[in-house]
Structure 1
């Protein structure tokens, strides 16, 4: 081969390499992700379970991904403001949403003209953690099981009040789901948060509550509330002696609070996989598991497909409950 042939071959190789580099740059080559800080948008202000879970994971997630993960609290409108911000962001993996269960599965049925679709506008990445609620009563209530509570409620319609953290919240919906499944009628009394709701039952303003472990555990230990059951499909390792409502005769009754990572729809699968792998790695660290347990959560670490199914199934359940009970956000 002459000199001109050698130069031509080299030129072709160089040109091919340049073409591949340009293609990868245009596609945002997933293997190079991330190359800049990642914004994690939270649906509520600092403080509370959502913020706690985010901040437990962020330092180790930053270390794993090699780029800073920045927490951005955008509270308001029941989490809808934050969700809309992420839904309308560029789908490149640099804006993520810490999707709380209520925002992802309840709000579509609760709010008119929701500015995003939880199913269509997000790429599910991973359900991180979940937490059950506790069905508890004031000690004066003559019921020591779900069956006895249902029997009491049926014998005295609307005589029992159940407290919640607010209209359309998970504690409210848990009560409405039991009412529908058991055929009972209790009166809903909303309070401004889970803490005030639990305190109201302790002093007898209400008799029943579906409370978080965080807001009820001290009262349960002190004997100021009596726990009857937990609301997940499996017994909680945080309260293993308590049966589930499913066990009590109401199959598939399930109400949990969970947190997830989702990205804008259209985010490349390679990027989704990178974030998923990093999150799973973080959730395997013993110190992270312990910290998550200490704030009342259990690690789940689902696949993207499992999270997608959870969102679809729970959205259908809560839409029916909301419609039946004629609940509207206030």
Structure 2
């Protein structure tokens, strides 16, 4: 596979930064023991797919094991709180996720951390778009006809989500508000059972991650109507963006790397540089693309702005809708 332009830029950036980073490493002596990456989600999902190759690459480059510590529960807030309470010495790294960092603080009342004060952003690894899918039996050919069907239905069409206050929930709620079509929320605890129930005709539609439903789309078991990104994706080029019908519509999750507040700048720069090199590997880029995700590889400041912007955006949406997730 030919290295993409973004891969070349990331790799060159990591090489240019290497001398300064190496000096900081020599001065600080980090790492001299294993590093723990806390993952807020269960093993085997997209978070593992993204992070485990990075951990392997970091292990090779740093000379110390980078070990995944999966801590699922409470929509990712337990693991996130644990990571952010850890010493800021570089031996605990958070696999940051949009859910516990920008959604939970706005839609849950029991969050014990402040994403703007309690973490130091390192890098947004990737964004995770969703695709609007429905039962083929609905007869919707595209998003416009789907909305027409939804408005004409005697009872609101039902949609699945992976949980109250999740991106899959908020995407459908946003579509309902923009289109004026009533829709009935049916929350699940994950996408597996939700997809099974949609295939069985028990729910009508949903926004799911592309990787979770690509096989069903290709087999014709589900109908793809629209992508949640502002523009079309190369992974599903024939499916338009929701924004083509409702300008400005965007609903993506994301993953990143963060450290507890107080982590020194040299450590942030070192970790960012090493992750940059890991993300530039062509095989990794292909893996991410085939999974329906998009590599971002942002710098720490850009990731910090992303977190702040999303917190504000979802804060406004929470006030407008009154949605609460507990």
TM-score scaled to structure 2, two decimals? 0.86
**C-alpha distance in 1, partners of 2:244/2:320?**
24
Residue 324, structure 1, aligned to residue 320, structure 2:
yes
The 5 A counterparts of 1:46-125 are 46-125=43-122
**C-alpha distance in 2, partners of 1:183/1:41?**
41
Residue 39, structure 1, aligned to residue 57, structure 2:
no
Which structure is higher in RCO with an 8 Å CA cutoff and minimum separation 6? 2
Distance apart, 1:158 and its partner CA: 4.5
Q: 1:160 aligns with which of 146, 152, 157?
A: 157
TM-score scaled to structure 1, two decimals? 0.85
**C-alpha distance in 2, partners of 1:314/1:148?**
31
**Residue equivalent to 1:134:** 131
Distance 1:176 1:157, change over 3 A: farther
The CA RMSD over aligned residues, in Å, is 2.0
For structure 2, list consecutive stretches of 5 or more residues without a partner in the other structure: 1-23
Distance apart, 1:325 and its partner CA: 3.4
Residue 311, structure 1, aligned to residue 299, structure 2:
no
**C-alpha distance in 2, partners of 1:208/1:78?**
22
**Residue equivalent to 2:283:** 287
Could you list the per-position Cα deviations for residues 154-206 of structure 1 after superposition, in whole angstroms to 9, with x for gaps in the alignment? 34475311111222222111111212222321111122321221222222212
The 5 A counterparts of 1:203-214 are 203-214=200-211
Residue 277, structure 1, aligned to residue 273, structure 2:
yes
Could you list the per-position Cα deviations for residues 89-112 of structure 1 after superposition, in whole angstroms to 9, with x for gaps in the alignment? 111222110011111110101221
Residue 302, structure 1, aligned to residue 292, structure 2:
no
SS at match of 2:138: coil
**Residue equivalent to 1:262:** 258
Residue 181, structure 1, aligned to residue 178, structure 2:
yes
Asked whether the equivalents of residues 157 and 184 of structure 1 are also in contact (C-alpha less than 8 Å), the reply is no
Residue 219, structure 1, aligned to residue 216, structure 2:
yes
Asked whether the equivalents of residues 158 and 184 of structure 2 are also in contact (C-alpha less than 8 Å), the reply is yes
**C-alpha distance in 1, partners of 2:61/2:233?**
30
**C-alpha distance in 2, partners of 1:284/1:230?**
26
SS at match of 2:244: coil
**C-alpha distance in 1, partners of 2:202/2:321?**
23
Instruction: Kindly tell me the number of residue pairs found equivalent between the two proteins.
Output: 303
Q: 2:189 aligns with which of 187, 192, 198?
A: 192
**C-alpha distance in 2, partners of 1:31/1:244?**
47
Which is greater in Rg? 1
